[in-house]
Structure 1
Amino acid sequence: MFEFKQILSVTLILFSVIDILGSVPIIIDLRKKMGHVQSEKATLVSGVIMVVFLFLGESILKLFGIDIGSFAIAGALIMFFLGMEMILGIQFFRSDGSEPAGSHSIVPIAFPLIAGAGTMTTLISLKALYSTSNILVGVFVNLVFVYLVLKTSGWLESKIGAAGFSILRKVFGIILLSIAIKIFKTHLLTL
């Protein structure tokens, strides 16, 4: 039932798609703007989104008449605006005080940063190659790592420093823009 090679493959594929290390500057930036990030809540919601999408993803999208390409493009647009914030220092995502406490731990951290369109479309693709039990273990391993990174983001910020954070923010902003444009381009051609 469980196969180490499959689990390792799924874990590495999801790790590269989720790219939580690359998201550290975004997480730190969101924490500065909106206060405390609830690591447990963001990780739990991400896990629920991924597991639900693994089993029901295609059906949910079909129910709403949404194809995977359109879903991926919507996620890419959110990632694009996050990248623009990081590079240009402008603000698209604002907290006006009306959101419930901790809701920013869900949007944009749990979705689309961790369990975004890339992760969801990858999960659907993995179903064709690997057994569901091995995919679930791969998801779990990634969630443990995501939790650890979210929990230590304050410590990481103190080690990086203000100047280092500023540089990383711009570099990862460009990377995030590039990923968003790649997802957008890839799925625009499928529409």
Structure 2
Amino acid sequence: MTMDFNTVDFFSFTLKSVISIFAILNPFGALPVFVSLTQNYSQNDKRYIVRRSIYFVVGILTFFFLFGELLFKIFGINIGSLEVAGGILLSLVSINMVFGNPYKERTSKDELAEAEDKENIALVPLAIPLLSGPGAIATVITLSTSVENLFLYVAIFIAIIISCIAVYFVLISSSYLNSFLGKIGIGIISRLMGIILLAISVQFIVNGLKILFPVIAK
């Protein structure tokens, strides 16, 4: 799908990308895990963990944003197939978010148990797979394959940065948010993000099917 650049397209696409990426990162869903893992750490340690984790997330998402499509081309995977596959994967993640189990496919009890120090927590399980899991990776790759305009590529990168900054502030406010929202409030927000993400994933599938079966687009 080719998009021609203009100011409206740039800002609307950036906004759409921010919503997509922030929803799949779902920091509100990660709050209980983060609070549990860092309950014995000082505020400075928590800030260090969140900062390091965000560095990892930005690096992971940027790598797959830049080289993900190339990797799939090496394996001979059609862009349409990639969009459909990404949409299906996102839909599975979003359905789990809606039903209150956002990390069913992302992490395991063993991975949580291995988080023994600040550096480990920042990378595993916080950055991988809680935040930048398969769904987030699929999202940035699918977004990158949906455009051929340099300005919109820049828009995706800006969206990654904005989303990660937003995630940083959510996690750094974890103690306050966890006590203010409670499990019910966090669950409601996570489910709302799941619904938004499900709608986005369906659109990815539709776009992919139009590429695979041009007759549908007519």
Identify whether the pair has TM-score above 0.5, normalized to the shorter chain. Answer: yes
Amino acid corresponding to residue 116 of structure 1 in structure 2? A
Amino acid corresponding to residue 133 of structure 2 in structure 1? F
- Once residues 24 and 173 of structure 2 are traced to their aligned partners in structure 1, the CA distance between those partners, rounded to angstroms, is 11
Match of residue 107, structure 1, among 125, 129, 153: 129
Report the alpha carbon displacement of residue 25 of structure 1 after superposing the two structures with TM. Answer: 0.8
Checking the alignment, whether the CA contact within 8 Å between 2:89 and 2:135 is kept in structure 1 is: no
Aligned residue for 2:93, secondary structure, equals: helix
Any gaps of 5 or more consecutive residues in structure 1? none
Report the alpha carbon displacement of residue 58 of structure 1 after superposing the two structures with TM. Answer: 5.5
Report the alpha carbon displacement of residue 137 of structure 1 after superposing the two structures with TM. Answer: 2.0
Structure 1, residues 127-181: CA drift from partner, whole Å, max 9, x if none?
2xxx22x123212322322232232234433443424142332212322442454
When normalised by structure 2's length, the TM-score is: 0.62
Aligned residue for 1:126, secondary structure, equals: coil
Report the alpha carbon displacement of residue 108 of structure 1 after superposing the two structures with TM. Answer: 3.3
* Aligned CA distance change for structure 1 residues 82 and 13 (closer, same or farther; 3 Å): closer
Checking the alignment, whether the CA contact within 8 Å between 1:78 and 1:112 is kept in structure 2 is: no
Aligned residues, how many?
A: 182
Equivalent residues in 2 for 1:34-183, closer than 5 Å:
34-35=37-38, 36-37=49-50, 38-53=53-68, 55-56=69-70, 59=73, 62-63=76-77, 67-68=81-82, 69-86=84-101, 93-96=107-110, 97-98=113-114, 101=120, 102-104=123-125, 105-112=127-134, 114-117=136-139, 119-127=140-148, 131-132=149-150, 134-179=151-196, 181-182=198-199, 183=201
Any gaps of 5 or more consecutive residues in structure 2? 39-48, 213-218
Computing the radius of gyration from Cα coordinates, the structure with the larger value is: 2
7-16 vs 177-186, which moves further: 177-186
* Aligned CA distance change for structure 1 residues 103 and 184 (closer, same or farther; 3 Å): farther
The match for 1:15 is 18
Say what the alpha-carbon RMSD is for the aligned residues.
3.9
Structure 1, residues 55-78: CA drift from partner, whole Å, max 9, x if none?
527625634999231332123223
Checking the alignment, whether the CA contact within 8 Å between 1:73 and 1:187 is kept in structure 2 is: yes
